Amino acid sequence: MSPDTPRGVLRDIWLQMPFLAWLILLWMLVWNQFTVLSFVSGFVVAIFVTRVFRLPTIELSGRVNVWYGFLFIVQFLWAIVRGAVAVTYQVFDFRQQPGAAIIGVDLRYADDLIMTHVSVTASLIPGSLVVETDRDRGILYLHVIGVRDLDEVEEQRQSVLRWERRIVRALGSPAQYRALKADERAERTGGAR
């Protein structure tokens, strides 16, 4: 089915519905109006933006685990608080400069959607910022502060991989979730030897 046929356009709109809902909500927040008129105008603007600025359609996995999603949110909020305290401490610790590094993290289960979620999560936690992505190879490059040696660099890398696993548990496709579970089983059996 061609994306330029009416049926293809309707399919694209249906697949983009979560994104459209987000754009409509942003539109209503920008105008600070939660009325039918602002909803309709936001819908028109969202359709216009997604049709004029043609981005590839990203299909959602269709799988949402509410429990892992809740755990992700709690862990994410705690990481934001911890990161803010750590960065504040580093800024006001005049005895030493906080170390910084650019690190590459090879994501294991990355498609466009998971890579985007991991990038946003890593960037929102104080102390790290995604500066580059290699979409083809599934690598994120982050600028991190508060690292002074290779062990701390590896700890940051493992932290990003833990966020990837949390996101796959909450939102990953069934295939990604099965791959994650298989890797966890392999790690447990490999570690038991």
Asked if the structure places residue 142 within a domain, the reply is yes
Asked if the structure places residue 93 within a domain, the reply is yes
Q: In this structure, what token pair is assigned to residue 151?
A: 């062990």
- Whether 44 and 136 map to the same domain: the answer is no
- Whether 34 and 78 map to the same domain: the answer is no
Asked if the structure places residue 60 within a domain, the reply is no
Q: How many CA atoms lie within 13 A of 108 on its CB side?
A: 21
Helix (H, G, I), strand (E, B) or coil at 126: coil
- Partnered with residue 132 across adjacent β-strands are 141
Name the residue among 91, 80, 76 with its Cα closest to residue 145. Answer: 91
Asked if the structure places residue 37 within a domain, the reply is yes
- Whether 179 and 115 map to the same domain: the answer is yes
- Whether 117 and 183 map to the same domain: the answer is yes
- Whether 96 and 161 map to the same domain: the answer is yes
- Whether 26 and 76 map to the same domain: the answer is no
> What predicted TM-score, i.e. pTM, was given to this entire model?
0.70
- Whether 116 and 183 map to the same domain: the answer is yes
**Which amino acid, 95?**
R
| Domain carrying residue 37 | 6-52
- Whether 138 and 75 map to the same domain: the answer is yes
Q: How many domains does the chain have?
A: 2
CA–CA gap between residue 161 and residue 134 (Å, rounded): 16
Asked if the structure places residue 59 within a domain, the reply is no
pLDDT digits (tens, 9 = 90+) for 147-165: 888 998 999 999 999 999 9
Mean pLDDT of the chain: 86
Average pLDDT of the segment spanning 105-128: 90
Average pLDDT of the segment spanning 47-61: 70
The number of angstroms, rounded, from the C-alpha of 109 to the middle of its chain's C-alpha atoms is 12
CA–CA gap between residue 24 and residue 52 (Å, rounded): 16
- Whether 148 and 108 map to the same domain: the answer is yes
Asked if the structure places residue 61 within a domain, the reply is no
pLDDT digits (tens, 9 = 90+) for 63-91: 788 999 999 999 999 999 999 999 998 88
